[in-house]
Amino acid sequence: MENETPNLETLKIINSQAIESLNAISQTDSLEEWRIKYLGRKGIITQLLKSIPQIAPSERRTFGAKVNQIKNNLNAIFVERKNSTKNLSASSKTNTNQIDITLPGWPFPKGSLHITTQMIKEISDTFQSLGFQSTEGPEVEFDHYNFGMLNIPQNHPARDMWNSIWIEGTDTQKYESMLLRTHTSPMQVRIMENTKPPIRIIVPGKCYRYEATDATHEWHFYQIEGLAIDKGITFADLKGTLYEFAQKIFGEGRQIRFRCDFFPFVEPGVDMSISNFKNSSGHRPIKGRNEDWIEILGAGMVHPNVLRAVGYDPDIYTGFAFGMGVERIAMLKYGIDDIRLFYSNNLNFLTQF
């Protein structure tokens, strides 16, 4: 070959031999050998380029163009091949360093707020957006505030609505005995005694009743009391405010109704109920005797006797009050079917929320 003058035919043969032998290469080292053989300084293609001057002038131009084309092509194929081999070896290296990505990650501790705290927060936030401010009050309360000032005198049959836990030895001269407050309503009185209208306030806190515990009753529970007093506050405002609250907490899919109910410290009195639903296990979270509606809060227009007792003029000021059981709302929101879960504080329960 060296002695012969190459022609276009030999170019074709060299090209196909080069491609064939490159394709046949399986090892990285042999790639370099191939490069030296064909594209090296003394390689076949370089020789061909050097032989251009020897070609007959009539064919030289065509021949030269062809050799250059072959050189560029082989070069490109070689680079491509070399790169793919490189990737191949890189990926085979990764295989040996692979980790078991299914192993659990670092067990960062996960904290949680008690579901009651979360529910209080959610309800408080809702009322805060309506201009209500949170405050707290005493859990050990005078009979006077828990009942008397709320239009529930001694020996009133309405007292049966609140079975009380009494504090021993607290019959005092100034007031009647002390008890664990049976509702957050005494704070209505305390707030009004210390504030001039306008008032918009909510009071979350613990309440206690002398009561046997079962799936829907706890002797220890949380309430949120609400109070709004000003000139011109009406029953229509009560409905509007509580409707807004219920929609925010339960979403628009649940029905809400207001019916007449009795609490001695309001007139007219209201029970707000929400349509019942079934939880993931197909149970109604609270099995009311009435299956379709569950009462979630009691409310009403503050009774003139209560306003008068704190020194407000009921002809000038009107307002509404409401009280709700926090656990009950959580039960209806999350489908919890046993109130005893709340204060047994099992982490399996608490960490779900």
Partner 1 sequence: MLVPFSWLKKYVETNSSPSEIAHLLTMAGVEIDEIKSIGNNLDSNLIIGKVINIKKHPNADRLSIADTKIDESKELSIICGAPNLKKDQLVVVALPGTKLFNPKNNKYQPLKETTIRGVPSFGMICSEIELGIGTDHDGILVLGADAKIGQSAKEYLSDTIFNASITPNRPDCLSILGIAREVAALCNQKIKEPDLKYTEITTSINDLVSIEIKDPDLCSRYAAKLIKGVKIKESPPWLKQYLNKAGHRSINNIVDITNFVMLEYGQPLHAFDFDLIENQTVLIRKSTKGEQIHTLDEETLALDNSMLTISDTKGPIALAGIIGGTRTAVNSKTTSILLEAANFNYTNIRQTRSKLNQNTEASYRFERNLRPELVEKALHRATQLIFELTGAEIHKGVIDVMPKKINKQTVSVSTKRIKQVLGTTISKSSIQKTLLSLGFSHNYSEKELKGATNLTFTVPYWRSDIKIQEDVIEELARIIGYDSIPTTPLASAIPHHSKDKKLLLVDKLKDVLVGIGMNEILTYPLVSISELEATGSLKQHSPLKVSNPMNDNLQYLRTDLRSSILKILSKNRRFFHTDPMRLFEIGRTYISNTTPTELPVEKVLLTGVLSGTRLNETWLANSNQFDFFDGKGLIESMFSELKLPIIFKKDTTSITNPGRSVSLMIKNQKIGFLGEVSSSILQFFELPDNQNVIFFELDVDQISTLQLEELNTSYISKSRFPTANRDLSFIVNQNIFSQSISEILESNDLVISALPIDIYKGTELPAGKKAITFRVRFQSSTETLKTEKINNIQNLLIEKITSEFNAELRELNP
Q: Pick the closer one to partner 1 by CB: 83 or 210.
A: 210
Q: Pick the closer one to partner 1 by CB: 239 or 254.
A: 239
C-alpha distances in angstroms, 337 versus 46, 279, 341, 352?
A: 88, 8, 9, 15
Instruction: Tell me which of 53, 169, 251, 311 binds partner 1, using CB under 8 A.
Output: 169
User: Which entry of 181, 183, 200, 328 is annotated as an active-site residue?
Assistant: 183
Query: 175 with 142: CB under 8 angstroms?
Result: yes
Instruction: Tell me which of 73, 83, 113, 283 binds partner 1, using CB under 8 A.
Output: 113
The tokens describing 101, both together, are 């990505």
Amino acid at 136: E
User: Which entry of 34, 67, 162, 330 is annotated as an active-site residue?
Assistant: 162
Residue 251 CA to residue 147 CA, distance in Å, equals 35
**CB under 8 Å to 269, separation ≥6 — which residues?**
260, 261, 262, 263, 298, 299, 300
Contacting partner 1 within 249-268 (CB under 8 A): 257-262, 264, 267-268
Q: Is 290 in the site for partner 1 (CB under 8 A)?
A: yes
Q: Is 237 in the site for partner 1 (CB under 8 A)?
A: yes
| 321 part of the active site | yes
Contacting partner 1 within 114-143 (CB under 8 A): 114, 116-117, 121, 130-131, 133-136, 138-142
User: Which entry of 67, 203, 228, 266 is annotated as an active-site residue?
Assistant: 266
3-state secondary structure 243-291: HHHHHHHHCCCCCEEEEECCCCCEEEEEEEEEECCCCCCCCCCCCCCCC
| 190 part of the active site | no
Pairing of strands 133-134, 199-208: parallel
Contacting partner 1 within 77-96 (CB under 8 A): none
Q: Pick the closer one to partner 1 by CB: 32 or 171.
A: 171
Neighbour count for residue 56 (Cβ, 10 Å): 9
Q: Is 223 in the site for partner 1 (CB under 8 A)?
A: no
Q: Pick the closer one to partner 1 by CB: 1 or 243.
A: 243
Stretch that binds partner 1, among 16-24, 39-47, 56-64, 193-201 (CB under 8 A): 193-201
Active-site residue list: 162, 183, 209, 223, 266, 321
